[in-house]
């Protein structure tokens, strides 16, 4: 059934302000979505009691190493990333950076040095580890799925977590490659009396996420 013949007055000035709530605007505009908190995120406790107080002090310290006074970190040797550092690194990672070249690492190190002692190798290792552990996450859930498929005892894991992971894998593995395609279609088909409809891809009720 064609919905056509929109012989409306149609002034473009009205469009941006949707006549009916147009709530989708509110959810996606410039307001950054602060990643909903995830229950399972370990969140990497960076803060230990002996962390360097201010970024400036940290920077100064990083420039003037050699004094034993500067060895304020517990182990004394390992890089302990500051939250700001993690933030920038993850931003870069999400921007697509995987294996930065030396020039890039130098720049990143220089920037991160504002917030705490850091060397280029730390940056390099961080990318290496982050990349690898992202892959590990994927593989772990796949392995768990395989386990669950063959073994129903499953005593050592919580079943809730298992089900969550299985659900994630469902789309990839459960549905075979040939089948998971194309349930959607845009319906370029002529009307021709055919009963098939296209998948509704747009909210019929744009007011859905209208909530205070």
Ranges within 100-129 binding a copy of itself (CB under 8 A): 100-111, 113-114, 118-121, 124, 128
Rounded distance between C-alpha atoms, residue 82 and residue 169, angstroms: 33
Binding of a copy of itself at residue 177 (CB under 8 A)? no
Among 35, 36, 38, 139, binds a copy of itself (CB under 8 A): 139
Rounded distance between C-alpha atoms, residue 70 and residue 66, angstroms: 7
Residue closer to DNA (CB basis): 38 or 194: 38
Phi, psi of 51 (to 5 degrees): -70, 155
Residue closer to a copy of itself (CB basis): 48 or 198: 198
Q: How far is the CB of 48 from DNA (least distance, A)?
A: 12
Rounded distance between C-alpha atoms, residue 200 and residue 192, angstroms: 19
Binding partner at 172 among DNA, a copy of itself, none, C-beta below 5 to 8 Å by kind:
DNA
Binding of a copy of itself at residue 86 (CB under 8 A)? no
Binding partner at 46 among a copy of itself, DNA, none, C-beta below 5 to 8 Å by kind:
none
DSSP annotation of 126 reads H
- Distances in whole angstroms, Cα of residue 104 to Cα of each of 91, 107, 110, 127, 157: 14, 5, 10, 12, 42
Among 5, 11, 54, 153, binds DNA (CB under 7 A): 54
């Amino acid at each position: 059934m064609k919905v056509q013949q929109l012989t409306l007055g149609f002034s473009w000035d009205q469009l941006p302000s949707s006549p009916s709530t147009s709530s989708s605007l509110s959810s996606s505009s410039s307001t950054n979505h602060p990643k909903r908190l995830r229950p399972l995120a370990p969140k990497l406790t960076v803060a230990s009691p002996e962390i360097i107080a201010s970024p400036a002090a940290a920077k100064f310290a990083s420039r003037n190493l050699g004094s034993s006074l500067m060895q304020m970190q517990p182990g004394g040797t390992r890089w302990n990333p500051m939250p700001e550092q993690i933030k920038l690194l993850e931003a870069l990672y999400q921007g697509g950076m995987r294996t930065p070249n030396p020039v890039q690492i130098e720049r990143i190190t220089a920037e991160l040095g504002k917030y705490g002692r850091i060397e280029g190798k730390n940056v390099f290792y961080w990318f290496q580890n982050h990349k690898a552990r992202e892959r590990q996450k994927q593989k772990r859930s796949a392995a768990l799925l395989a386990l669950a498929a063959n073994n129903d005892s499953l005593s050592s894991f919580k079943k809730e977590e298992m089900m969550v992971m299985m659900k994630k894998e469902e789309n990839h593995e459960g549905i075979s490659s040939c089948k998971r395609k194309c349930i959607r279609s845009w319906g370029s088909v002529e009307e021709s009396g055919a009963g098939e409809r296209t998948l509704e891809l747009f909210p019929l009720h744009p007011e859905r996420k209208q909530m205070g």
